[in-house]
């Protein structure tokens, strides 16, 4: 049998199978049973939440040949249903507006609306990514939406409703697709796991759902990838697959930061790098963890605002109690500022360490009194060449070799066209941990 990706294999075939969009499924089902079909629908919402799937189900519902009327439970077997599923129907046309955005494309579509359906009740035009249409394209569409030929239905799909003109929106029945809730997603993934005999722990499955941030397609793709491992999939494998730093490592890091334990931090960072985590990913993961900690601190009841597992969230809420809000904020800001250095530097690893060590209380309180007040008396006023800067660095870091100082200097990315201020900051930070 040929391999079919899970997200295609498990595309919902009826509104009953649509996950996590109950209000939409009910309304569309009622519209079909009561035969109150609007000429234009607008499906909007985040990616991978069921817009295109719903458009196809709706088209099948309208045209299923199993009975004499439209039905909310299309048979999936008749000519009409199968040809729509395969994208071969002459009466149900799916157009990717992103690659057909011009006015002439829309004119062609409008011409086709006048052709009587071949062997269906309705001609259905699904305009995917409709926000990509040119303004003339929208103009051309507008007239048709206002007075569409009989038995023509438009379904416009978009992830970016703000790019769709209000004149278009107001002529459509609008449906807002929501992110799929974690519990709904887990239930759905569980069915797939049982059917496909995938060996995964309940905790790992929950993690897959949480990582996917409400996008069902992403969760299915991740599960698909994991299933190729052919072993019992646990949480560590999930973290491994997505390339992110495991939450428990981030928790430990934050704890060690609070304890001022620079040795442990360096060990954690080196281990993560050894496992193949990218410096930039480590940096970004820690930055968003600080953001989560800020939420844990300021509104511990808002778990839904973060994408953490329940256990981690509980622990983070405990840890956050001992942190000052200002410290968390300053830390997050510091990490953001350092991100560009990690991103662009030829020595991202060094920068990662400098940035994370800069979060330690030692770097911000006791030792900061030894820092040269840069604004008043910048040490670089007398520097003429990079060698002067490096010589200054050597005074501060007598144990570091000239080559490695030179290397650090070379790896600096100028900020506002200058290297000196960022050099001073780096050297001071390194010096405070020697
Ligand atoms: N609500 C849902 N119920 C069941 N499966 C879903 C749902 N949403 C997405 N899926 C799964 O994800 C796949 C992609 O869904 P679909 O194409 O409908 O998403 P979309 O909202 O159109 O996304 P995009 O904005 O990226 O086009 C489907 O084949 C299906 O497997
Ligand atoms: Mg789509
Ligand atoms: Zn059918």
Interatomic CA distance for residues 28 and 223, integer angstroms: 30
Per-residue DSSP letters for 217-260?
A: HHHHHHHHHHHTT-S-B-HHHHHHHHTPPPHHHHHHHHHHHHTT
> Does residue 366 register a pLDDT over 70?
no
Mean pLDDT, range 366-384, rounded to an integer? 62
Interatomic CA distance for residues 320 and 306, integer angstroms: 14
Name the least confident of 1-15, 297-311, 341-355, 361-375: 361-375
Name the least confident of 7-11, 122-126, 358-362: 358-362
Closest by CA position to 298, among listed 324, 334, 264: 324
Question: Is the pLDDT higher at 39 or at 408?
Answer: 39
Q: Give residue 375's pLDDT band: very low, low, confident or very high (50, 70, 90).
A: low
Mean pLDDT, range 296-316, rounded to an integer? 87
Indicate the top mutation candidate among 11, 28, 47 to test ligand 1's pocket, ranked by most ligand atoms within 8 A of CB.
Answer: 11
Ligand 1 center from residue 47 Cα (angstroms): 7
Ligand 2 center from residue 48 Cα (angstroms): 7
Strand ranges across the sheet with 173-176? 92-96, 123-128, 152-158, 40-44, 173-176
Predicted confidence at residue 129, as pLDDT, reads 95
Predicted confidence at residue 236, as pLDDT, reads 86
Ligand 1 center from residue 246 Cα (angstroms): 27
Predicted confidence at residue 311, as pLDDT, reads 83
Question: Which residue lies with its CA nearest to atom 6 of ligand 1?
Answer: 50
Ligand 1 cavity residues, CB under 6 Å = 7-8, 10-12, 18-21, 47-53, 157, 159, 180, 216-217, 220
> Does residue 433 register a pLDDT over 70?
no
Per-residue DSSP letters for 305-358?
A: GS---HHHHHHHHHHHHTS-HHHHHHHHHHHHHHHHHHHH-S-HHHHHHHHHHT
Residue 137, beta-bridge partner list: none
Burial group, residue 434, by CB count within 10 angstroms (0-12, 13-18, 19+): exposed
Interatomic CA distance for residues 410 and 407, integer angstroms: 5
Using one digit for the tens of pLDDT, what is the confidence trace for 86-121? 889 999 999 999 999 899 999 999 999 988 887 789
Residues, CB-to-ion distance under 5 Å, ligand 3: 64, 66, 74-75, 78, 81
Q: Give residue 140's pLDDT band: very low, low, confident or very high (50, 70, 90).
A: very high
Q: Which helix (H) or strand (E) holds 24?
A: helix 22-33
Using one digit for the tens of pLDDT, what is the confidence trace for 239-293? 889 888 999 999 999 999 999 999 999 999 999 999 889 999 999 999 999 999 9
Using one digit for the tens of pLDDT, what is the confidence trace for 14-72? 999 999 999 999 999 999 999 999 999 999 999 999 999 999 999 999 999 999 999 99
> Does residue 331 register a pLDDT over 50?
yes
Name the least confident of 75-84, 235-244, 300-309: 300-309
Contact of 63 with 85, CB cutoff 8 Å: no
Ligand 3 center from residue 157 Cα (angstroms): 23
Indicate the top mutation candidate among 4, 49, 160 to test ligand 1's pocket, ranked by most ligand atoms within 8 A of CB.
Answer: 49
Q: Quick one: CA torsion of 167, 169, 171, 172, rounded to 10 degrees? A: 170
Interatomic CA distance for residues 345 and 269, integer angstroms: 17
Mean pLDDT, range 429-434, rounded to an integer? 69
Mean pLDDT, range 195-209, rounded to an integer? 94
Predicted confidence at residue 376, as pLDDT, reads 62
Contact of 182 with 66, CB cutoff 8 Å: no
Report helix, strand or coil for 173. strand
Mean pLDDT, range 335-341, rounded to an integer? 87
Residue 156, beta-bridge partner list: 42, 127
Predicted confidence at residue 369, as pLDDT, reads 39
Interatomic CA distance for residues 205 and 192, integer angstroms: 11
């Amino acid at each position: 049998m040929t391999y079919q990706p899970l997200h295609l294999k498990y595309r919902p075939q009826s509104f009953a199978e649509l996950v996590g969009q109950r209000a939409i499924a009910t309304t569309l089902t009622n519209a079909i049973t009561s035969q109150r079909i609007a000429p234009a629908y607008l499906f909007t919402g985040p990616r991978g939440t069921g817009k295109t799937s719903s458009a196809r189900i709706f088209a099948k519902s309208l045209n299923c040949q199993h009975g004499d009327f439209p039905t909310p439970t299309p048979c999936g077997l008749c000519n009409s249903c199968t040809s729509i599923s395969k994208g071969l129907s002459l009466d149900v046309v799916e157009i990717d507006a992103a690659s057909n955005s011009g006015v002439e494309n829309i004119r062609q579509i409008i011409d086709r609306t006048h052709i009587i359906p071949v062997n269906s009740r309705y001609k259905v035009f699904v305009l995917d990514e409709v926000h990509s249409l040119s303004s003339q394209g929208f103009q051309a569409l507008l007239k048709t939406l206002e007075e569409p030929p009989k038995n023509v239905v438009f379904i416009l799909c978009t992830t970016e409703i703000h790019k769709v003109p209000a004149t278009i929106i107001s002529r459509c029945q609008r449906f807002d697709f929501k992110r799929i809730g974690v519990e709904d997603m887990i239930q759905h993934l569980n069915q797939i796991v049982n059917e496909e005999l995938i060996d995964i722990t309940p905790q790992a499955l929950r993690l897959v759902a949480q990582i996917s941030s409400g996008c069902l397609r992403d969760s299915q793709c991740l599960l698909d990838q994991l299933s190729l491992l052919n072993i019992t999939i646990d949480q560590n494998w999930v973290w491994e697959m997505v390339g992110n730093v495991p939450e428990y490592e981030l928790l430990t890091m934050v704890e060690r930061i609070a304890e001022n334990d620079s040795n442990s931090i360096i060990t954690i960072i080196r281990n993560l790098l050894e496992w193949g985590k990218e410096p930039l990913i480590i940096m970004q993961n820690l930055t968003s963890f600080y953001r989560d900690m800020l939420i844990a601190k300021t509104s511990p009841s808002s778990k839904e605002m973060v994408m953490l597992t329940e256990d981690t969230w509980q622990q983070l809420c405990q840890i956050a109690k001992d942190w000052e809000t200002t410290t968390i904020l300053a830390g997050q800001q510091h990490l953001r500022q350092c991100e560009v250095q990690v991103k662009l530097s030829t020595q991202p690893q060094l920068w990662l360490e400098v940035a994370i060590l800069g979060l330690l209380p030692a770097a911000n309180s006791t030792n900061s009194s030894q820092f040269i007040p840069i604004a008043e008396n910048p040490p670089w006023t007398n520097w003429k060449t990079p060698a002067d800067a490096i010589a200054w660095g050597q005074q501060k870091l007598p144990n570091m070799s000239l080559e490695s100082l030179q290397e650090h200097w070379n790896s600096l990315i100028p900020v506002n066209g200058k290297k000196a201020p960022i050099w001073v900051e780096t050297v001071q930070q390194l010096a405070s941990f020697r």
